[in-house]
Structure 1
Amino acid sequence: MLFYWFLKFVAIGPVVKLVFRPHVEGVENVPPRGAAVLASNHLSAADWIFMPMALRRRVTFLAKAEYFTGRGVKGFLQRAFFSGAGQVPIDRSSASAAEDAIRTGLRLLRQGRLLGIYPEGTRSPDGRLFRGKTGVARMTLETGVPVVPLAMVYRPRRLPLLGWNVPAVTVRFGEPLDFSRYEGLAGDRFVERSVTDEIMYEIMTLSGQEYVDVYGARVKKSMDATGASAAEVLSTLQPPVDEAGDRAPESLAG
């Protein structure tokens, strides 16, 4: 716990604010206490650094277990860093990975935490916003907590004196979404898809991104297999029909 605040206010936070000078909008939309889901787009590996910097409260993310299983000095330092930074490991390689991630998220929300989630499940392969996985809806419906949609926005910027290309960063929080009208309907895949799509629409509105109704991970897999660009892959893909096994949101990019 203390290491988290050390990173935020001493080791990393001051440097991030000095160099990037992130602009924050709508921070008053984040509840000052109690559980909530912070649902964000995912454009950069640095997203999970900039967003918590904008808030006084601690944000907890679900992170892939590989960050916690390294060996030697490097593995120890990596494990200490991610644990101290508020990350909770999940094993994404098991057959029950999606359900395990959801159970972990539910536990954290029932503890009153702020849970950071990237519903797309991976970083965007081309800067567009991709279809959200329904795990975020499942967690929201089972706990009744509000969802605060947010957008990470990056704009090209060149520092005049140093000549460095450093992006201008905006963290934009939207108004909380209340899904109490669906109380008791957790597990209904049609309701979960509707809730997820509403969350993604709000993220799209906040970010200004173009929306693509295909899973980003599916696009990346095809890109790796064929060497094609995201645009070329998307021209051959259709939106998914079956939601089974595609619930797990992710916090850190894979």
Structure 2
Amino acid sequence: MPVTRPEPGTEPDLDLHDSLDGQVALVTGANRGIGAEIARRLAELGATVYAGTRSVTNEVPDACESVTLDVTQEGDVEAAITRIGDEAGRLDVVVNNAGVGTFGAELHDEAVPILDRTFSVNLRGPTLLAKYALPPLLEREGPRIVNVSSGMGAIEETQSGGSPGYRISKTGLNGLTAYLHGEYADRGLLANSVCPGWVDTELGGEEAPRDVATGAEMPVRLARLRPDSVGGRFWRDGTVLEW
């Protein structure tokens, strides 16, 4: 049965697992903010959750397994996937949540090291993780990759207001989602992007109107999709967005 691809502007009903007992998930950037909340909720649903964090000294949510994972380091990525395979023997869900952003400057004023770091974390990292995670994912029925993106990267939105590295990297992350759907949907992969909204985190800032629980809601729903459900789309609050 082909993976469905609802049209932008629609709010399709999602066929979700009620429980994730027996399943294994990896969440990057899971020691704080949206990532920690996603990891915590997936664990509450019964999944074995590997919470990726850049430092062994960082705390992760209770009931999660801490895994050292700097997504800019290929060795970390490969080691994390190897460890999950050795310990859990399977991988069902990957949530690419780790992200950075520097906001305000226009491209002609932006420092090149800032651009390089932003592209490395926000786009190269998820691409590397997908590369190494795909073999075990594709052994499962209905594996999921959830890419935490942003409306600031939507091509259909006005791309102004500075923050070029963040905007372009999130546009690229959506491109990764579209590629994964086009390449692997016929093998059962459910790849989706999601905008959590403007959330009160270290990245979003205290002026953000959304709390972490609200921001984590849609990524968790996409991580719960049943096989042959929806893929290849960009979401916010249950609505399919234009790319």
TM-score, normalised by the number of residues in structure 1: 0.39
CA radius of gyration, larger in: 1
If asked which structure has higher relative contact order (CA below 8 Å, sep 6+), I would say 1
TM-score, normalised by the number of residues in structure 2: 0.40
